[in-house]
Amino acid sequence: MSAITMDNQFVTDGAPTAGTLERSTPFFSVRDIHAYYGESYIVQGVSFDIRQGEILALLGRNGAGKTSTLRTIARAGDPVLRAGEIWIEGKPVHHMKAHEAARAGIQLVPEDRRIIAGLTVEENLELAQVAPGRGWTLERIYGHFPRLAERRRQEGVTLSGGEQQMLAIARALARDIKLLLLDEPYEGLAPVIVEEIERILHEIKPLGITTVIVEQNAVAALRLSDRAVILDTGEVAFTGSAREVLDNTELRHEYLAI
């Protein structure tokens, strides 16, 4: 069977060698991670792979462990990763601290966005550019975010919710970025703003940026995504294409309440 031959072709036993990396290992991989807040066992053996440039929707009910999974990947410190592995381009993220994961190109945009008060839009972006590595230039950012260009001299925290979300995403792009982790980016935003953020995410996809989007608005996340992972009480309940979730009424009812 050709499928088996194909799979076998891509399997490696040991460490990947230069040149075969792209074919033999996924761009980003989470393998059986277990993470705890103190003694609370929250992320209970989550695994998934992402190809470069893919958008993955990480879904599940409130409390399913989505934020905890993103924080574990970004090495936020809390929850604590006690077992399992996380790899980006063959580098072991599970051994990294938060600043090292950021240096490896992993950028988390948390739910509360954390725009810095007292700084303009541009100063928020410039501060992000201070981080090591090559991020996007202001010119490039403003090309994709015309609203931010218009408001560049305005204090960041005075922007609308949608504009603050755009600034938070732009700030991640101002750093050296490979993997963008978005935690509920559409929360509280009007549909027209959600569409504008979707447009931006569509634009950055062909540039090779890989995205994980966590959203309560599962339909909006799925229409943007290539693939989906559904979490249920800290475990993976489903992995497949975004289309499969949109077409599967039972799955949607059981885990997403849509």
Q: Which residues bind Mg ion (CB under 5 A)?
A: 66-67
Instruction: Report how many residues bind ligand ADP under the rule CB under 6 A.
Output: 12
With CB under 6 A as the contact rule, which of the stretches 12-20, 57-65, 156-164, 237-245 interacts with ligand ADP?
A: 57-65
Q: From the CB of 67, what's the least distance to Mg ion, in Å?
A: 3
For ligand ADP, the binding residues in 106-125 under the rule CB under 6 A are none
Q: Where does the chain have alpha helices with state H?
A: 2-10, 21-24, 66-73, 98-103, 121-129, 138-144, 146-150, 161-173, 191-204, 218-224, 242-247, 249-251
String of contacts with ligand ADP for each residue 17-46, x by CB under 6 A: --------------------x--x-x----
Which residues contact residue 140 at a Cβ distance below 8 angstroms, ignoring those fewer than 6 apart? none
Q: Would you state the structure tokens that stand for residue 121, as one six-digit string? A: 């839009």
Q: How far is the CB of 101 from ligand ADP (least distance, A)?
A: 18
Longest dimension (CA), the chain: 62
Member of 66, 113, 227, 252 binding ligand ADP (CB under 6 A): 66
Of 53 and 161, which CB lies nearer to Mg ion in the complex structure?
161
Q: Which of residues 192-231 bind ligand ADP (CB under 6 A)?
A: none
Q: How far is the CB of 65 from Mg ion (least distance, A)?
A: 8
Work out the angle at residue 244's Cα, subtended by the Cα atoms of residues 242 and 248, and round it to the nearest 5 degrees. 125
Q: Which residue has the tokens 């634009």?
A: 203
> What would you report as the CA-atom Rg of the chain, rounded to the nearest whole angstrom?
18
Query: Measured from the CB atom, is 12 or 40 closer to ligand ADP?
Result: 40
What's the one-letter identity of residue 175? Answer: R
Minimum distance of Mg ion from residue 214's CB (angstroms): 6
Tokens representing residue 162 in the block: 């949608």
> Which tokens hold the place of 174?
């101002």
- Alpha carbon 15 to its chain centroid, in Å, reads 26
Q: Is 68 in the site for ligand ADP (CB under 6 A)?
A: yes
**Residues at the site binding ligand ADP, with contacts judged by CB under 6 A:** 37, 40, 42, 60, 62-68, 78
